């Protein structure tokens, strides 16, 4: 069971990826986590990636795929994995497909968590964060007991820059230009499955479970 999660920022694909990993006993493979682990452990691939990151450059697709393949070649990925955060573009998808084909492998499902932009902007602009202890809330779905105050440590809650409507809109514009074409790419491969991400979290997961059954 080799799965790629697709969806706009704030669509909830990361949450669903973790739920799939837990339910089916396969690793949740996030490219951000892999980079951090390789750099922390001082691996050859990690040090190569760090050279680009230290200069504020994007890590080349070929190197990212090498780091990714190194991760999915590990024993815990034998039964499958859930990729979260990669690929983000068509060139990345093509490099990944070629590398997997050379290993006699392929992606089983690309699951798109579909949420309209206006829902995402509303969802993310309702988030509030405590910068002191890291707790997160939502003014509608997970409100603090006292408005604007963290339940855990009593510090003020803030709307992070990343969650401001104008920032979210910019991120969505980038997503539609770069990542949206992946939906067509995987549809042509016959592995795309779409779920309605506007539903409650458990209902979305139920739809994914039905796909994987």
How confident is the model over 71-102, as pLDDT tens digits? Answer: 988 899 988 999 998 898 898 899 899 988 98
Name the region of 56 (left: φ>0; alpha: ψ -120 to 50; beta: rest).
left
Marked catalytic residue, from 88, 122, 164, 199: 88
Active site residue 160: yes
**How far is the C-alpha of 168 from the C-alpha of 137, rounded, in Å?**
17
Q: Give 202-211 pLDDT, tens digit per residue.
A: 999 999 999 9
pLDDT at 9: 87
Distance, in Å, from the CA atom of 44 to the CA atom of 50, rounded to the nearest integer, reads 10
Tens of pLDDT, residue by residue over 160-204, are: 998 999 999 998 998 898 888 999 999 999 999 999 999 999 999
pLDDT at site 56: 81
Nearby residues of 21 by Cβ (< 8 Å), 6 or more positions away: 27, 28, 82
CA distance 211 to 213: 6
**Looking at 13, 123, 128, 193, which residue is catalytic?**
13
Sorted by where each starts, the structural domains of the chain and their CATH numbers stand as 2-212 (3.40.50.300)
Q: Which long-range contacts (CB under 8 A, 24 or more apart) does 43-52 make?
A: 45/70
Catalytic residue at 127?
Answer: yes
What's the whole-number average pLDDT of the chain? 92
């Amino acid at each position: 069971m080799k799965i790629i999660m697709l969806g706009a920022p704030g669509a909830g694909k990361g949450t669903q990826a973790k739920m799939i990993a837990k339910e089916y006993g396969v690793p949740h493979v996030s490219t951000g986590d892999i980079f951090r682990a390789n750099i922390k452990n001082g691996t050859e691939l990690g040090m190569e990636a760090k050279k680009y990151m230290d200069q504020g450059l994007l890590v080349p697709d070929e190197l990212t795929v090498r780091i990714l393949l190194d991760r999915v070649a590990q024993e815990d990925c034998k039964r499958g994995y859930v990729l979260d955060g990669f690929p983000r573009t068509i060139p990345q998808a093509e490099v990944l497909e070629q590398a997997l084909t050379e290993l006699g492998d392929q992606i089983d499902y690309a699951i798109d968590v579909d949420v309209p932009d206006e829902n995402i902007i509303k969802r993310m602009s309702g988030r509030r964060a405590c910068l002191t202890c890291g707790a997160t809330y939502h003014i509608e779905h997970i409100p603090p007991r006292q408005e604007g105050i963290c339940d855990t440590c009593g510090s003020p809650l803030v709307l992070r820059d990343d969650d401001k409507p104008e920032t979210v809109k910019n991120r969505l514009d980038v997503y539609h230009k770069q990542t949206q074409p992946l939906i067509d790419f995987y549809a042509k491969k016959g592995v795309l499955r779409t779920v309605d991400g506007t539903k409650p979290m458990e209902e979305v997961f139920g739809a994914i479970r039905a796909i994987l059954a």
